[in-house]
Each structure stands twice: as C-alpha cells, then as structure tokens.
Amino acid sequence: MTTKILFVSGDDYAAWEFEKSLYDFKEIWEKARKDPNNKYIIDDYYEIEALEFEDEIDEEFIKFIRNRVQDYDTMKHQNFYIVD
C-alpha cells in the first residue's frame, strides 16, 4: 500500500485555510500529479505538491511529527495532509 500526501504552502495561513476549505483532497492530489513537477496552484494562494510513498507511513509516526516536530505557527502556513 502507498501513502499519498498533499503538501500545502503559500501566503499567511494558507495551510490553515486549505484545511478548512471544501476542496476534495483526493481530487486536488490527482490534479497535482498530472503536472510534471507534481504541483498545482489554486487562486495564486495555495501551492500544492502531491507526494506518494511506496510504503504505508505509520500513523504513530505521523502523530509524532505533528505533535513533537512541527511548529504550530509554521503549520498555519505550510502543512501536509494524508489523502485517502
């Protein structure tokens, strides 16, 4: 099984706004994968990068990164999201 991730960045609060948006993460991921660089820009605000890892990333590892490694303020501007 693979793990699909959207990495979202942009101007102030881009990731936070994206997280609260009504965008379909899977649809956005698929649009980004069509680009040769796996990138997709929405409204000149959200910069999306689609990543895919060959193995499944352990949920406990993701929790560790979110809780112990990521900076809360930085997460508002850039963050990653698991795509189902």
pLDDT in tens, 57-83: 999 999 999 999 999 999 999 999 999
Question: Is 67 buried (19+), middle (13-18) or exposed (0-12) by CB count in 10 A?
Answer: exposed
Structure confidence at residue 11 as a pLDDT band (50, 70, 90):
confident
pLDDT in tens, 22-33: 999 999 999 999
Neighbours of 15 (CB within 10 A): 22
Q: Provide the β-strand partners of residue 48.
A: 8, 40
* Contact present, 18 and 8 (Cβ < 8 Å): yes
Structure confidence at residue 84 as a pLDDT band (50, 70, 90):
confident
Does the pTM of the predicted model rise above 0.75? yes
